[in-house]
Each structure stands twice: as structure tokens, then as C-alpha cells.
Structure 1
Amino acid sequence: MIETLFTQALGLVAPWQVEQVTFQPEAGRIDFQVRFGATIHACPACGASAQPLHDRLARSWRHLDFFQYEAHLHTEVPRVACAGCGKVTQIPVPWAREGSHFTLLFEALTLMLAPTMSVLAAGRLLRVGSRRLWRVIDHHVGQARAQQSHAGVLAIGVDETASRRGQTYIAVFYDLDAQRLLFATPGRDKATLGKFASDLIEHGGQPTAITHVSTDMSASFQTGAAEHFPLAEVCFDRFHVVALSSTALDEVRRAEVKSEPELKGTRWSLHKKPADWTVKQTQTMHWLQRTNLKTARAWRIKQALRAIDIAAKTPDQARPLLKRWLSWASRCQLEPFKRLARTITKHLPGVLNGFQVGKHNGRVEAMNRALQEARARARGYRRVENFIAMAYLIAGKLTHLPAPPFACFLRVPQETD
């Protein structure tokens, strides 16, 4: 019988079974009427066995599509009148969580699609309003995060990102060893470090166990790290230091282009790696290096700092190289680089700490790019809570989410000769 086939296909076991299948091609849907075939059941509240049913309440759920048709499950969910605890309690259905109008498999499909497309696009594909899908995402992300353990976290990376262009900055905290997002919260001040410390404790971690905090030279992040992670070494991200040299180079070029119009259009050439130059950019840079322009000198100083970042693998290797660079930059008569040299000298211990293996924000920046790609797909997030939920879904490596509905079919087939 077709009812038996669909009972097995839906993964139902006695006393649940499909009683009737109604196909409505003109409406684009198929409906399954499910029956609970027992008259007694254990009490869901206290566990007392063989309790009589009190009544039944009609419920419906959206399921995965059947071919191109919407599939809906309907049943009268029984409630148990327990003589033991005196409560009347509804029996949980095996295919959906309490309070949801979607089956667990439908919600798992939502969580599978959301990281790869905007929720609005996923809603159009599934023919469901995006607000309803966001409620699904919020629930499962919240449940999964509550079960995450941060007990082994030792090194963290702190950075900031934005949920919308130029608006609502978010502080993000990553586990540098496990390469996962631990916590995200609105703001970019020292208070965000306190919120993370509290969240870390709630998930089994200890602020005193943190050995390294990798961050940029933001004064608020430095203050928060010293206050809430007093035993940790502060590591100033060396990629951020190189980015500061690029900013200094821009200042020199902008000041000089007013008197040297030949510098117009050279900005991208100055910032790209020489290996990535086009033929025209190569010609431009060869011309620039034959001049005595301040911009040419600034580019050489910046490239020297980038070379240190590439060559030095430990603080001991970086120390003499940086000291020579600081001597050069402080005497170069280019005020932006003299100012940068003073900044690096002031924070030299933290800058050197950033050369420890794995104690920098390189992977943090990669994860942030993934978040910004999600923001671009969504064209910005109206609610900061939505952006944070999506951040956890993409970068949190949550291990307690529902398995994808097609997990058994997602294996990559082996090629044969």
C-alpha cells in the first residue's frame, strides 16, 4: 500500500503511521495524514507508563518537497492524562520540535542553504517567508551555541567587522588554534572584551587560561585585554602593522600628487604585489623607481616592512630586522613613516609577539572575509542579531546542529579508471 511506503519514507515507527495521502497537483502540494494508533502512552512529564490519552489536537507541518510539490504533514497529536503527576501533557511528535511548524528535516535544509545564499533567496527557493526561516536559524544556532565547549581555548584573535556598510560594528573573537568563531557582539570598545570573558566562562573556559590575545593596536582592545585577560601576552597582528605602512604610503602619495601629476593612477600599483602587476603597472613602477620622488622612497620603506613580515618566523628573527627598519623609517624625512616608526617602537613587545607561529590574525581575516561575503549576498543585514547568527553558522563550527537532510548522499563519488 502507498500509505505503508510513505510511512517508511518518512521514517515513522509504530504507533505512528501514514493513514491517508492526498495529492493536489493543481494546488502544487501533497498532504500526508498521520495517525497515532495507540490508546495509551508513557507520560511525557514524569515518565509513568501506560497512561490513558486525554484528547487530540490537530497540528500541521511543512516537510521537504515531494518532487516539485510542497509536502505537508497533518495529525491529531494526543495528550496524556497522567494519574501519577496529575498533568495533561502533549506527546512530542518524532518529526518536529515543539512549537515549530516545520519538520526537523525541513529546518535542517534551511540551515544547509543559509550559509551559501541569502536567507531571502533561500525563502524564495523554499517558498517560505524569510522571517520564518530566521526564527529557525536563531533557534538552532542558539541551541548549538549553548552546547559548545570553550574549555580548551588558549589563544584568541580579536577583530571587528560591520553588519552593514559604515554601520553597526561587531567585535568578533576567534579561537586561533581551532580556527572557529567563539563570540560576536555589537561594539568595538573594551566592554566587548568583558562580554567575551563572561561568555567564555559560561561555556567552560577560563580567562586566566588565555595565553595569547592577538589584536590590532586599538587602545580600547588593549585596555580590555589587560583588564580581563591579565595573564595573556598581547600580540599585535603583524598584518595590521603592514596595513599601517600602506596607509602611510597613501598619505605620502596624496600629498605629492598635487605637485607631481604623473602619480595619478598609481595607487593600485603601489599596493599590489610585484608578482601581480600588469604590464602597464610594471612599466609605471619601473618609471617610479628611477625617480627621486618621495612616493618611490615611501614604497621602498613599505616593501621592506612587508619583507620582514614574510621572512621572520619568530620574534627573535624579527627583532634585529625591525630595529634596522625603525632606524631607517625614523630618519626618512617622511612624516607619515616617522609617525609609524614611533607607534611601532611604543608597541614593540606586542609587535614582536605577533611573530609567534599561529598567534596572529591571518586566519581571522580569512574568516572575516567569509562573513563579508555573506553580508554582500544579503546586501547588508537589517538586524545585527541576524548577522551575528549567520556569523556563528558560517564560522562557529557548531557541532550540535541538525544533520543535513541528504547527509548520507553527500559523499563525493570515487573516480574509477
Structure 2
Amino acid sequence: MHCSLLRKRDEDWLRISSLPCGVSCRASRVALGKNPENLTEHQQSCLDEIKELYPKMFRGYQLKEGLRKVFQCRKDTIEKELKAWLSWACRSKLKPIVELSKKIRRHKDAIIATVRHGLSNARIESINNKIKVLIRKSYGFRNIQNLIGMIMIVCSRLYYEIKLSYELR
């Protein structure tokens, strides 16, 4: 996830710096951000126009797509594919892409292990978001122990049945 966020930030910087006088084009952002198989005809024509007018930006797009394909490749070829992408990115001479490749190179072993084992931090992110929601809801609580209790109830996988001393109608 973090690699894709870094890639997106660098892609935006590259897009803005490549356009004349920093003029932003919404269509270019949409076309550059989408997967090639999901592009509409208009977006594809916008991408073709970018290829003609802004080759530096299009090279950044190709590198982005290359990295996306690296993360979708088979588990046994991830190391070879990532190594090839890193050498391509270093030779690109696009400053944000070179910086991204250095960051990825520093964490290369962890990235390869994550892809090979199919690990994800989605469950932890889910729990963090639940806790943030509970913190917003807990502004009326009298003490922190009530908040901690709510976190324990909501985030644990305990199932409990509340027995009422009276009957609900």
C-alpha cells in the first residue's frame, strides 16, 4: 500500500512539472491514474496525446505501470521482476522515480517477502479505523477507562450475549 501511495505522489509531481507552466489537466490525471485496461476511448486518446506532447510524463506512466505489473506477477518471479524494474527506474533520470526506486531498494527484501507470502496490513488498518471512530464517539465519556473498555469490546473477537432482567416488547 505504501509503495502505491509513494508512486501516486511522485506521479502527480511528475505530471504537474511536465506540463507547461505547471498547468494542470484533469483529463491527464484521470488517464494517467487508471489501469490501461480500464481506459475509455477519450482517456486513451488523452494518453496518446500525452505520449506525443510530453514524453517525460509518459515515461513516468510506463514506469508506474511496470511497478504495478511487478506487484501482480507470480510469487516465484517477483525478485527478478523487481530487480529489472529497479534498474529501469534508476536509468529513467526522472528525479521522483529515482527517489522512489531508492526507497523500494532499501525495503526490497521486505517487499519481496510480503508478495511471496501474501501478507497485508489491511486487518491492522481496519482496527485502527475502528479505534478512531470510537475515539470520536467517546467525547462524552467521563474517563479513559470507558473508552478502553469500548475498544476492547469492539475490537476483540469475543461474542457475548446480554441477558436482561426484564423482557423487551
Could you say which TM-score interval applies, normalised by the shorter chain? 0.7 to 0.9
Number of positions where the alignment pairs a residue of Structure 1 with one of Structure 2: 157
CA displacement, residues 115-156 of structure 1 (integer Å, 9 cap, x when unaligned): xxxxxxxxxxxxxxxxxxxxxxxxxxxxxxxxxxxxxxxxxx
Equivalent residues in 2 for 1:11-410, closer than 5 Å: 239-259=1-21, 261=23, 263-265=24-26, 266-313=28-75, 316-362=76-122, 364=124, 367=126, 371=130, 375=133, 381=136, 383=138, 389=150, 393=154, 396=155, 398-402=157-161
Structure 2 CA distance for aligned equivalents of residues 356 and 335 of structure 1: 29
Q: Does the C-alpha gap of structure 1 residues 267 and 292 become closer, same or farther in structure 2, counting only changes over 3 Å? A: closer
Rg (Cα) greater in structure? 1
Higher relative contact order (CA 8 A, sep 6+): 2
Alpha-carbon shift at residue 243 of structure 1 (Å) = 2.4
Query: Aligned in 2, Cα 1:303/1:368: closer, same or farther, shift over 3 Å?
Result: farther
Deviations along 1:241-282, one digit per CA (max 9) or x if unpaired, are 232222211121122234364x51122332222344344323
1:329 aligned partner, one-letter code = A
Tell me the TM-score normalized by structure 2. 0.72
- Which residue is equivalent to 1:38? none
Go from structure 1 to structure 2 and tell me whether the alpha carbon gap of 1:362 and 1:399 turns closer, same or farther (over 3 Å shift).
closer
Match of 2:116, SS?
coil
Relative to structure 1, is the Cα distance of residues 333 and 370 closer, same or farther in structure 2, using a 3 angstrom cutoff? Answer: same
Q: 1:291 to 1:257 in 2, by over 3 A?
A: closer
Listed one character per residue, the Cα deviations across residues 180-218 of structure 1 (whole Å, up to 9, x for unaligned) are xxxxxxxxxxxxxxxxxxxxxxxxxxxxxxxxxxxxxxx
More helix by share: 2
**Contact 1:354–1:360 (CA under 8 A) maintained in structure 2:** yes
For 2:48 and 2:152, the matched residues in 1 are separated by 43
Cα distance, 1:392 vs structure 2: 5.8
1:340 partner amino acid: L
| Partner Cα separation in structure 1 for residue 29 and residue 49 of structure 2 | 14
Cα deviation, residue 326, structure 1: 0.7
SS of corresponding position for 2:117:
coil
- Length-normalised TM-score, structure 1: 0.32
Structure 1 residue 338 displacement after superposition: 0.7
In the alignment, is the contact (CA less than 8 A) between 2:90 and 2:97 conserved in 1? yes
Deviation for aligned residue 1:302: 0.8
Task: Report the RMSD for the aligned CA atoms in angstroms.
Answer: 3.4
Instruction: Decide whether the 8 Å contact of 1:329 with 1:341 is kept in 2.
Output: yes
- Distance in 2, matches of 1:267 and 1:279, equals 15
Structure 2 CA distance for aligned equivalents of residues 361 and 281 of structure 1:
33
Extract unaligned runs of 5+ from structure 1.
1-238, 406-417
Q: Secondary structure at the match of 1:381?
A: helix
Structure whose residues are more often strand by fraction:
1
Specify whether residues 253 and 370 from structure 1 end up closer, same or farther in structure 2 by C-alpha distance, changes over 3 A only. Answer: same
Show CA shifts across 1:159-180 (max 9, x none): xxxxxxxxxxxxxxxxxxxxxx
Distance 1:318 1:337, change over 3 A: same
Distance in 2 (CA, whole Å) between partners of 1:295 and 1:350 is 29
Instruction: Report the CA distance shift for 1:279/1:323 in structure 2 as closer, same or farther (over 3 A).
Output: same
Amino-acid identity (%): 22
Q: Offset of 1:333 from its aligned partner?
A: 1.0
Letter aligned with residue 289 of structure 1: K
Q: Which amino acid aligns with 1:334?
A: L
